[in-house]
Amino acid sequence: MVTSITSFGRSGLYDWMIQRVTAVALAAYTIFLMGYMLFTPELDYQQWKELFECTAMRIFTLLALLSLAAHAWIGMWSISTDYIKPTGIRFLFQSACGLLTFIYVVWGIQILWGV
């Protein structure tokens, strides 16, 4: 069995399952936000701020942020291993994707929790 240090999960099946679970979490978050905006026609900054001050919404948003990061990493890893054949270039691409994902997650947490 071939294992890879850059894969998010332990196996292809595990990565596939993470992709599906994160897709469901992202879909739920998107549907919730669309519904909130649809049923709050006079949405202003104060209502938006109050929504994101709620701890449950912050946790839901954090779940969506982490889901997006995992989903994107697995997708980019799959694309890079399929289409970028030179090992050095693939390593650089995957390193850049990993670094950017980390930066976006940290930045998102700072914005979300006001750290």
- 40 and 47 Cβ atoms separated by less than 8 Å: yes
Distance CA 106, CA 65 (A): 10
Residue 36 labeled ligand binder: no
CA-nearest of 26, 15, 6, 12 to 98 is 6
Residues 6+ apart with CB under 8 A from 58: 52, 112, 113
User: In Å, how far are 65, 69, 87 from 115, measured between CA atoms?
Assistant: 16, 20, 38
Annotated binding site for heme: 71
Annotated binding site for a ubiquinone: 83
Annotated binding site: 71, 83
